[in-house]
Amino acid sequence: MRSTFNILFYINKQKIKKNGKCPIMGRITIDGKIVQYSVKEEIEPKFWNPKEGCCSGKGNECKRINLRLAELKKEAEQQYQKDIERSGYVTAEGIKNSIQGMGTNGITLLKEFDLMKEEIKNGIGITHTRGTYYRYGNAYYIIRDFLKYKYGVDDVEFSRINKQFMEDYHFYLLTVRNFSTYTIQNYVRFLKHTIERAVNKEIIYRNPVRRFYADGRKSSRRWISREDLNTIMTKPHPVKNVNKVRNLFVFAVFTGLAYADIYNLKWSDIRTDKAGYKWIYKDRTKTTTECYIPLLDIPLSIIENFKGRKNTDKVFDFFCYRTMNVHLQTLTEFYGFKTPLTFHQGRHSWATTICLSNGVPIETLSRTMGHRSIKTTQIYAEVTNMKMDEDMKLLESRIGNKYQLPNTDFTKHETKEAI
């Protein structure tokens, strides 16, 4: 249904200036919603025709003002028609912004992204984590590099963002950056979040890429096989700090804790049950949901190595996230792995290599990982060939001789039917 649109001009007699003139105002009405604004012109009340919404004088000044008002009206009508054709959605506020030069031509993607980063930074510890701020910071620089690489520009107006823009960005992440599908999906999500924010602020009137989804090649496995895990555990690195990161990675594999959870792990999070077994009880940093993790011998021994080194309530001494990744890259090269080691890979390995491959039910695994829904756990639940082989052997042993096929000579039967 087409919107009702009207624009008129009037003078504000409540603000008569010392020179006897009143400011001329514009009023835009769309579907009953009204916005008013100054056209930055003024006129004496005796030269104003309220019925016509224009100057009634015959002097050059009145002619100039009337010409300016006609241009503003024409510009508003053209912007209204453009918005209707482009998105089918138009607001009085949007028309006003366009007339005053505050529409999409003045607000660009990276400027808005930078504002969003600052808001996230101010919300650290309240609504966001420091890790979220760093991730959005990385996304900002990647988008900036993409704009220079693909279009040769420093920034882009929101009006230029469409499905083709997202396709180009996706292809850049896939080929030039050589990111995995999982990483690409995250960076596309950050960009879509910025665009949706622009819609909410009425910088643009609709999200042109709302239905864009980042598909791509199949991600390389994000879990460690039993063989690779044995290699890591039996071959320490000669450099002390690198070996320290190796131990923390192994701790992630045997607890399923993410980097942020290990970083924030406190002694008060470790409790002993009535049977004498130690458990980790803590809220996950990312989702604030509770997780319950049994402390097996290997993670317990790692904790003992760190015990008493600092007079804080945190269990581990820690490097910054960037340094941790550098040491993980060193370990990847040291062990000759083709897939780079990451802390999230350790969390995935807890789900797949440690738990599922050893018969732990997915419902129990979900509690240890602090998931709100078991559907989230299923993302980690990749079925390894080893697990599949074990399941089939177990099925064979259970079936045994329960089912038998009668000893019928089908060959003779088929020959007789043929005759």
383 vs 50, more confident: 50
Q: What is the predicted pLDDT for the residue at 99?
A: 67
Tens of pLDDT, residues 10-23: 999 888 888 889 99
Q: Do 72 and 119 fall into the same domain?
A: no
Q: Do 257 and 382 fall into the same domain?
A: yes
Q: Do 83 and 151 fall into the same domain?
A: no
Q: What percent of the chain has pLDDT over 90?
A: 16
Residue 358 lies in a domain: yes
Q: What is the predicted pLDDT for the residue at 418?
A: 45
| Cβ-contact 357, 387 below 8 angstroms | yes
Q: Do 256 and 390 fall into the same domain?
A: yes
Q: pLDDT class for 104, splitting at 50, 70, 90? A: very low
Tens of pLDDT, residues 119-170: 888 888 777 777 788 889 999 999 999 988 887 888 888 877 888 888 889 9
| CA gap 279, 12 in Å, rounded | 72
| Cβ-contact 79, 131 below 8 angstroms | no
Q: Do 147 and 51 fall into the same domain?
A: no
Taking 90 as the threshold, does the pLDDT of residue 317 lie above it? no
| CA gap 28, 72 in Å, rounded | 11
Average pLDDT over residues 364-383: 75
Residue 216 lies in a domain: no
At which of 99, 131, 156 does a domain end? 99
| CA gap 302, 251 in Å, rounded | 7
Helix (H) or strand (E) holding 134: helix 130-150
- DSSP calls for 173-213: IIIIS---HHHHHHHHHHHHHHHHHHHHTTSSSS-TTTT--
384 vs 138, more confident: 138
Taking 90 as the threshold, does the pLDDT of residue 330 lie above it? yes
Q: Do 273 and 358 fall into the same domain?
A: yes
Pairing of strands 22-30, 33-43: antiparallel
Nearest 5°: the CA angle 157, 158, 161 is 105
Residue 408 lies in a domain: no
β-sheet with 278-283: strand ranges across = 270-272, 278-283, 290-294
- DSSP calls for 354-378: IIGGGT--HHHHHHHHT-SSHHHHH
Q: What is the predicted pLDDT for the residue at 406?
A: 64
| CA gap 56, 411 in Å, rounded | 109
Among the ranges given (41-55, 161-175, 207-221, 398-412), the one the predictor scored with the smallest mean pLDDT: 398-412
Q: Do 240 and 375 fall into the same domain?
A: yes
Residue 233 lies in a domain: yes
Q: What is the predicted pLDDT for the residue at 1?
A: 47
Pairing of strands 33-43, 270-272: unpaired
Residue 402 lies in a domain: no
Q: What is the predicted pLDDT for the residue at 207?
A: 81
Q: What is the predicted pLDDT for the residue at 5?
A: 85
Distance of CA 99 to the CA centre of its chain: 34
User: How many structural domains compose the chain?
Assistant: 3
Tell me the residue range of the domain where 236 lies: 226-396
Query: For residue 383, what are its two tokens?
Result: 């079925």
Among the ranges given (25-29, 97-101, 327-331), the one the predictor scored with the smallest mean pLDDT: 97-101
Cβ-proximal residues to 109 (8 Å cutoff; 6+ apart), any chain: 143, 155, 156, 157, 158, 161, 194
Q: Do 248 and 383 fall into the same domain?
A: yes
pTM: 0.53
